[in-house]
Amino acid sequence: MVGEHLLEVKNLKTTFLTEMGSVVAVDGMSLHVDYGETLGLVGESGCGKSVTAESIMRLLDERTTKYEGEILFKGQDLLSLPEKKMVDIRGNEIAMIFQDAMTSLNPVYTIGNQIVETILTHQKVSKKEAYEKAIEMLRLTGIPSPEKRILEYPHEISGGMRQRVMIAMALSCKPSLLIADEPTTALDVTIQAQILDVINELKKELNMGVIMITHDLGVVAEVCTRVAVMYLGQVIEEAPVDNIFTNSLHPYTKGLLKSIPKIEGDRNKKLYTIEGIVPSLHNIPKGCRFAPRCSFADEQCRTQSPVLKETDGGHKVRCWHYEKIGQMEEKIDVTATS
Amino acid sequence: MEMKPSIQMEPKIDYDNFTSIRNQLKKEQRSLFIKRFLSNRSVVIGGSILLVLIIFAIVGPMVSKYTPLEIDPVNRLQGPSAEHWFGTDNFGRDLFSRVAHGAQVSLGVGLSVAFLTAVIGLFVGLYAAYYSILDHIFMRICDALMAFPDILLAVAIMAVLGPRPVNVIIAVTIVKIPVVARIVRSSALVVKEQTYVEAMKTLGASSWRIIWFHTVPNALSPMIVQVTYIFAIAIILEASLSFLGVGIPAPNPSWGNILYDGKTVIYSAWWMTVFPGLFIILAVLGLNIFGDGLRDLLDPKSHKAINKQ
């Protein structure tokens, strides 16, 4: 895409300074989001998805965290902004919703109070207008009779409702970027679908960019336009959503896709798993980070780190042998079918 | 899809109706709280004792025929009688009047200390929880203060400041601030890690807002309970200081220095130790029972079901 992106992360490196030394949680992260686009950020627990989101919002404790690289939001580097400016951006320009809807609302205030507070923080409107706006936002997220709900406390409504309230609150100032950190993980499947619909609808309505952090590839397929797969603090593959599912190049992505249970096929067959476990961030493997668990790894993989290479049509992959692996698999497919 | 956002079919917001619903809800909540308050036996008993003492402190000096400083050498060390309800002390001063005025002093000191420790402890605890540099400074000071026995530290501070009623309040407050600060800090540390605090931050709340509007209401209950206990402890500490002669300076009455005066004549004039002692016991007992009740009341997990009829 030509021109300026809504959000462009360039070579982000987030380091935690812990008592046991520094830990690089996100290393050389680059991604971009455009208006009206949903970027999926997938990967297993601890691969740095949430840290990336928190770095964009600059939520991490700055005394124990070091950011390097650039986070350009509408052309402005968020990492060099003073905290005061950042407060204006949070909630107003970039908003975030969380995994745990049950605890992300303050129990001592009514729902209305909390949404109104957010509106009043960023906009110069009267309290009455703010209340009207809050009711309006709740209605947009599909909450029935919002003028009654607005007087209730968080413990009086269900988890799905609370997530809707969170969304209403996050979007009350019409941000241009929404970061959704596993917004549906704590909800059951029906509510999940509804919440994803709400996010999708509002995305279109407000023409905002969305970063959808998840480890659920089903969610990715449903809402994302582009996907970045993360492994151990790095993006290892980035592609339009269809490419990821039909033509993934990185062995890790292939492995992830293979381990999804299929509705058709032999039910007695064991599920595919990726061998080994994710190494600790204290002990990052030399060379390609996935090499110790990769069945295609050779000497080059173990000594030299691959870079994120663009293949075609916005498809990027961080692997030395993706072409070879692709050819090998084609051969296997041909022999299997013939 | 039923949940599709639709702006067209939205009804007009009836704002008057909306406010009236809100007011009614508030009223209901208030009456429920009062019900809960009155159904808690400890709160009612402790509260009644306190109320009686406060009324005594206000009304007592008005009904007594003597001032607490009026010396009557002829009628020294008289037992309780119709003329002197609690008897007279070694200078012939009316003991009822002295105990009643002493109630004002003792309860006044206790209340001031409770209030001051609450306010200062809240500040110290909150900012210690949110800023690690302040945490190191404040908590080391608290450690140092807590290393001394309460009474010893209070005596030392009084020795520096000199014997004046205000100084008693200052001394006891300094002694008790660390207790409140620690409690506020620990509950603030818990609240700080809650998702809703992070959520508020992502919505652009300043740290000032997060601390005062989102942490305080969630961290207040343990502090309120502790402060009622501190009220009681402050009364005891004030009495101890006065008893040791470094508290409320004579001839002004306080329960502690009446006890001190009575100490030398304890075998011949029991009333001089019994009456102030009784009031100290009553005040401390009342406050402790009240505090226990308050703890149950403020803990949402211990709410008993109350019929809403």
Supply the Cα-derived Rg of chain A in whole angstroms. Answer: 21
Chain A 159-218, residues with CB within 8 Å of chain B CB atoms:
166, 169-170, 173, 179, 194, 197-198, 201-202, 205
Closest chain B residue by Cα to residue A203: B5
* CA distance linking residue A117 with residue A121, whole number of Å: 6
Query: Using an 8 Å Cβ cutoff, are A10 and A22 in contact?
Result: no
Q: Which of A311, A309, A283, A289 is nearest to A301 (CA)?
A: A289
Residue type, B225: V
Would you state the structure tokens that stand for residue A35, as one six-digit string?
Answer: 């208006």
Percent of chain B residues past pLDDT 70, beyond the cut = 91
- Which own/partner pairs from A202-207 qualify as long-range (CB within 8 Å, at least 24 positions apart)? A202/A140, A202/A141, A202/A167, A202/A171, A202/B5, A203/A36, A203/A38, A203/A178, A204/A36, A205/A140, A205/B5, A206/A171, A206/A174, A206/A175, A206/A176, A207/A35, A207/A36, A207/A176
pTM above 0.90, yes or no: no
A118 touches B: beta carbon within 8 Å: yes
Q: Do A131 and B204 touch (CB under 8 A)?
A: no
Question: What are the average pLDDT values for consecutive 10-residue runs of chain A, which has 338 residues?
Answer: 77 88 87 91 86 90 87 90 88 88 86 91 89 90 87 87 89 90 83 87 90 88 90 90 87 86 76 81 85 86 86 85 79 57
Spell out the domains of chain B, with CATH numbers in brackets.
45-301 (1.10.3720.10)
Q: Which of B13, B204, B217 sits opposite A135 (nearest CB)?
A: B13
* CA distance linking residue A90 with residue A75, whole number of Å: 16
Question: For B269, which DSSP code?
Answer: -
Residues in chain B predicted with pLDDT less than 70, given as ranges, are: 1-18, 300-309
pLDDT for B15? 60
- Which helix (DSSP H) or strand (DSSP E) does residue A294 occupy? none
Q: Do B3 and A98 touch (CB under 8 A)?
A: no
In angstroms, the separation between the Cα of residue B216 and the nearest Cα of chain A is 10
Interface of B with A (CB under 8 A): 1-5, 7, 10, 13-15, 18, 21-22, 25, 132, 194-206, 209, 213-214, 217-218
* pLDDT tens, residue by residue, B22-78: 788 788 888 888 888 888 889 999 999 999 999 999 998 888 888 888 888 888 888
A4 touches B: beta carbon within 8 Å: no
Q: Is A116 helix (H, G, I), strand (E, B) or coil?
A: helix
pLDDT for B152? 93
Chain A 32-91, residues with CB within 8 Å of chain B CB atoms:
57, 59, 63, 87-91
* CA distance linking residue A256 with residue A250, whole number of Å: 10
